[in-house]
Amino acid sequence: MRIGVAGRNGAGKSEIVRFLESRSFHAASLSDVIRRELASQGLEPTRERMIETGRRLRREGGPAVLAERVLAHLPSGTHHVLDSIRHPSEVEALRRSGPFMLIWVEASEDVRFERIQARGRAGDTHSLEAFRELEQRELESSEESGQQLLAVQALADEVILNDADLPALQAQLQELLRRALTFAERPSWDEYFMSIATVVASRSNCMKRMVGAVVVADRRIISTGYNGTPRGVRNCNEGGCPRCAGVEASGARLDECLCSHAEENGIVQAAYHGVSVRDATIYTTHCPCLICTKLIINAGIREVVYAADFPKGDISAGLFREAGIKCRQLLPAR
């Protein structure tokens, strides 16, 4: 899962990040993008410069540019914690990237000012008046490229009060993390196998359409297939199929196409390795054509799940119904 941390200066965002890092979260900061920009110019990252440089980057690359740059370099296969979120467009970009929770951490002004005096970070203000003035610039801005912390606060999924000591904060985080990880959603089996079929399709060498198929029995993959020329024959994208190389219109010269279809290859690969597909389910990125429909029926496959429609797919669907094979389209989740 991915957790974002936002709050006013001195609220305790860094402590939350450290806590989650100790729980195997990979930490990244949107401010690091700004710091790298300043470092490339040989400038110290004072808070004033950070605000102005962030504003410039948003003007040049769009209001979500900091989040987009950080997302592009996050490692896969692990949880992430991201801090320094200061614009609602950054929140929107992070939500679009997958499961995301935004934590807003709150603390009183006196506590926050005391903390920033104690930490002595470069660029921090040393008077309460300057502290308030700088914070006001971060809370809201009439410019689209400016920081808009109040708008970010309104989008928070969870609010944590951090006026007490560190153990109190960690206790709140422990409970929040337990709830978040316990009820985290996983893809359904249909979504899981169809996503694998999509990856399989990326291996296709067909110049016309990339299709992938996965044959599954008892929630176990027993075979995969993608469309392309037969084994030992020059690849389609290398000129192996004259019909595809001629960039013919859809449906034309099909009798000259040398490519095997994804469903066909999935069934043939299972036979090649002596694995039965009887009573299996086949997941395919496109509705099977008529030829593949007949192969699926005669192979004993009992269910077909497809993602995208295919020309004349209604004929295939009718044949599946007559043969008593379940056929359904997996529509994207909304």
Report the catalytic residues.
Answer: 263
Distance CA 163, CA 150 (A): 19
Integer Cα distance of 293 and 287 in angstroms: 9
Q: How far is CA 36 from CA 32, 184, 258, 291, in A?
A: 6, 34, 52, 57
Q: Please tell me the number of Cα atoms within 13 Å of 166 on its side-chain side.
A: 7
- Of 80, 83, 74, 81, which is closest to residue 34 (Cα–Cα)? 83
CB-based contact 125:131 (threshold 8 Å): yes
Rounded Cα gap, residues 284 and 304, in angstroms: 8
C-alpha to C-alpha distance for 180 and 285, rounded to whole angstroms: 32
Length, in residues, of the chain = 334
Measured CA to CA, the distance from residue 230 to residue 224 in angstroms comes to 15
